[in-house]
Amino acid sequence: MKSKFSLLSKLLILQYLSVLCLSQDFDFFYFVQQWPGAYCDTKQSCCYPKTGKPTADFGIHGLWPNYKDGSWPSNCDPDSVFDKSQVSDLMSNMEKNWPSLSCPSSNGMRFWSHEWEKHGTCAESELDQHDYFETALKLKQKVNLLKALKDADIEPDDGFYSLESISDAIKQGTGFTPGIECNRDSAHNSQLYQVYMCVDTSGSDLIECPLLPKSKCGSQIQFPKF
């Protein structure tokens, strides 16, 4: 009898913690896009998706719930797994704008599953699975990073540009200050890798970032070809 009561207590506690995490609030989203040329131009290299080489444009990395103190929730609902049938109408758009470049080559399912299960489940109080992916795709159309950079004569031509000019160009194009993340190529050049924009909890509107991710960029950044 005692062991049954103990088991029941543990199950109730686990259920309570699951509900608590699921209903967990967050303060804003990071909407993160990555430049494929920088992803591929490292020692790690990359593998194109099974649909072929992506277009030379920024691709979605994710839509990540965050707190203003710099921390973030993750893996909030282990019972909510990625279900491609829920996003079947978005699939061609996701293949184009949210491609996976990791190896081995894939159809994107592993990448999207990871993003939903780690980040999307922590936004279920605002967005269901279909809404989550659709929201990120709509933000991609709203935040045209490549156009903003090209309008400022910043081209993916292996040239070097100042961190300030890149940030200013994106702010001019979007109306908001971005977070810039760099990685390094095999020659240890600092290169433009990811751009963070902040979005309200509904996923609808860009906002000024409560805090920006710490930049490890040099003062001069390479914008690699792809």
Tokens at 56, concatenated: 């030379």
Q: Catalytic: 130?
A: no
Which of 175, 171, 169, 177 minimizes the C-alpha distance to 221? 169
> Three-state DSSP class for 2?
helix
d(C-alpha 179, C-alpha 61), whole Å: 14
Which whole-number Å values give the CA distances from 64 to 92, 115, 122, 177, in the listed order? Answer: 22, 8, 9, 17
Helices (H), the chain: 2-22, 36-40, 91-97, 109-118, 129-142, 145-151, 163-174
d(C-alpha 133, C-alpha 129), whole Å: 7
Q: Catalytic: 188?
A: no
Which whole-number Å values give the CA distances from 164 to 11, 45, 151, in the listed order? Answer: 53, 27, 15
Q: Which residues contact 189 (CB under 8 A, 6 or more apart)?
A: 160, 222
Query: Out of 95, 114, 115, 126, which one is annotated catalytic?
Result: 115
Query: Out of 117, 119, 124, 134, which one is annotated catalytic?
Result: 119
Q: Which residues are catalytic?
A: 61, 115, 119
